[in-house]
């Protein structure tokens, strides 16, 4: 295999690994498995949602917020759509992913949907703008910016057939 083919294969492998990372994040959010959520971030990763005035300077801070904020969530489903990956240098990449998420429950931490105790019922679309890096051969998020662009409220109906977290059976 020539050097060009080898680099093309590596680029393909890197893109596939990043797509897997994006899907693992949304899977862990849907299941409420925040240990797995933490595993997709570099320790000093920044997560932010400028529209809500949120910014976390470490992955740990974000995971704590996420876990505390979803303790009374009946359902939270997040699905990634159309991720686009751009390799921007050795071990560096950018990605954009359209996200559809909906949730229902009770607000347990101050957030844009209301104060603590407010009923939560939303269906929204947004885009993640990501920066990623490769650490010891593994891709991780280093900076995620969530930007919602369409939100409906009071529209998530139906019965709950399983409690969160939805962890894998052992």
Q: In the structure, what pLDDT confidence band is assigned to residue 2 with cuts at 50, 70 and 90?
A: low
The pLDDT of residue 135: 97
d(CA 66, CA 84): 25
CA separation (Å) from 119 to 53, 66, 70, 71, 96? 21, 17, 12, 13, 30
Q: What is the pLDDT of residue 5?
A: 78
What distance in Å separates the CA atoms of residue 104 and residue 115, rounded to the nearest whole number?
15
- pLDDT digits 0-9 by tens, 69-90: 888 888 999 999 999 999 999 9
Q: What pLDDT is attached to residue 168?
A: 65
Work out the average pLDDT over 147-154.
Answer: 91
What does the pLDDT average to over 117-142?
94
* Those residues with Cβ within 8 angstroms of residue 108's Cβ, 6 or more apart along the chain or in another chain: 68, 69, 70, 71, 72, 116
pLDDT in tens, 13-63: 999 999 999 999 999 999 999 999 999 999 999 999 999 899 999 999 999
Q: Which domains does the chain have, with CATH numbers?
A: 3-153 (3.10.450.50)
Residue 90 vs residue 155, higher pLDDT: 90
Residue 110 pLDDT grade (very low, low, confident, very high; cuts 50, 70, 90): low
3-state SS class at 112: coil
């Amino acid at each position: 295999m020539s050097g060009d083919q080898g680099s093309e294969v590596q680029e393909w492998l890197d893109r596939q690994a990043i797509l897997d990372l994006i899907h693992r994040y949304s899977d862990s959010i849907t299941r409420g498995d925040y240990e797995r959520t933490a595993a997709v971030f570099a320790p000093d990763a920044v997560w932010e949602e400028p529209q809500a005035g949120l910014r976390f300077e470490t992955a740990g801070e974000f995971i704590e917020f996420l876990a505390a904020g979803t303790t009374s969530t009946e359902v939270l489903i997040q699905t990634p759509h159309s991720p686009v990956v751009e390799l921007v240098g050795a071990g560096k990449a950018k990605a954009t992913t359209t996200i559809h998420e909906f949730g229902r429950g009770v607000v347990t931490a101050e957030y844009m949907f209301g104060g603590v105790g407010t009923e939560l019922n939303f269906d929204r679309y947004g885009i993640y703008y990501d920066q990623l890096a490769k650490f010891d051969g593994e891709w991780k998020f280093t900076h995620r910016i969530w930007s919602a662009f369409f939100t409906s409220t009071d529209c998530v109906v139906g019965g709950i057939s399983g409690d969160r977290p939805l962890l894998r059976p052992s």
